[in-house]
Amino acid sequence: KERELNYPVVATDFVLMEDGTGIVHMAPAYGEVDYQAGGDNDLDFVHVVDLQGKMMGSYPFAGKFVKEADPLILDDLKSRGLLFRSEKIRHTYPFCWRCEAPLLYYAKQTWYIKTTAVKESLIAGNKEINWYPEHIKYGRFGDWLENNVDWAFSRERYWGTPLNIWRCESCSKYDCVGSVEELENKSGFTGLREPLDLHRPFVDELTFDCPQCGAKMRRVPEVIDCWFDSGAMPVAQWHYPFDAESKTMLNDGRFPADYICEAVDQTRGWFYSLHA
């Protein structure tokens, strides 16, 4: 469905006067600064491209891949006397590293851990870490903590630790399941096969009844950022909180980890997820 949109002109600070006209078009659904400016200025948020990168709507170029639609959009503008000038400009662009397909930035919903809620304790905890080399502490790692943003921790891939959230097919109620035992005790639980394997595809067969409406609860399709697994090392190696000997681990000296050694790129990978 199409609706009336607004086309306001807004002032922002990310457009430079050095290049071009100093005016850029904005598409809040297709770029980070555009998205932020859209939120700040209450711009319409509209998707005109689907997840396959094809134009939606009832335009003459609907159904075309965006790059194939480009010349058709220009033709359309020209035929309606709306085109001022058209030219090719060389600039950087993201491509798939495997198949070299051009990629699009695309705003969509995802799962986050609200790390900003514990930002102060992340910063305080960093003061107790001995960093070698020392400049990482308030440099690369400290800066990262100071500029903390919520952790987008779900991934749309097949392999990985499955995100342990089930969603009702009918009323959309969510349930975050914390153990196999909890799952097995759900009313209407079914789909378990021996030997137990909690990865895809097996985990996606595990369903139970929605406590709210009785319809089927299914796992959401996402898996978890692999750095979440890495960061769980201190507790996961003791199978906390499930094994009897693991119960006291948070207070008996086994937590946090004493020592880790890695390359500097891990400040934003393993070091961070371990710390968070």
What residues make contact with Zn ion under the rule CB under 5 A? 96, 98-99, 101, 168, 170-171, 173, 210, 212-213, 215
CA 191 to chain centre: 29
Cβ proximity to Zn ion: between 119 and 167 the closer is: 167
Cβ proximity to Zn ion: between 9 and 99 the closer is: 99
Q: Is residue 190 a contact partner of residue 208, using CB atoms and an 8 Å limit?
A: yes
Cβ at position 97, least distance to Zn ion in Å: 8
Cβ at position 187, least distance to Zn ion in Å: 12
Cβ at position 10, least distance to Zn ion in Å: 35
Distance between start and end Cα atoms, the chain:
43
Backbone angles phi, psi at 112, to 5 degrees: -125, 150
Cβ proximity to Zn ion: between 105 and 242 the closer is: 105
Cβ at position 273, least distance to Zn ion in Å: 27
The CA distance from 212 to 171, in Å, is: 8
Cβ proximity to Zn ion: between 36 and 212 the closer is: 212
Cβ proximity to Zn ion: between 85 and 98 the closer is: 98
Closest CA to 215 of 173, 165, 179, 162: 173
Cβ at position 212, least distance to Zn ion in Å: 4
The CA distance from 58 to 186, in Å, is: 46
Backbone angles phi, psi at 165, to 5 degrees: -120, 130
Cβ proximity to Zn ion: between 186 and 275 the closer is: 186
The CA distance from 44 to 27, in Å, is: 9
SS3 167: strand
CA 228 to chain centre: 13
Cβ at position 225, least distance to Zn ion in Å: 20
Q: Read off the DSSP letter of residue 221.
A: S
The CA distance from 117 to 103, in Å, is: 32
Cβ proximity to Zn ion: between 192 and 215 the closer is: 215
**Strand 174-176 and strand 151-152: pairing?**
unpaired
Cβ at position 130, least distance to Zn ion in Å: 42
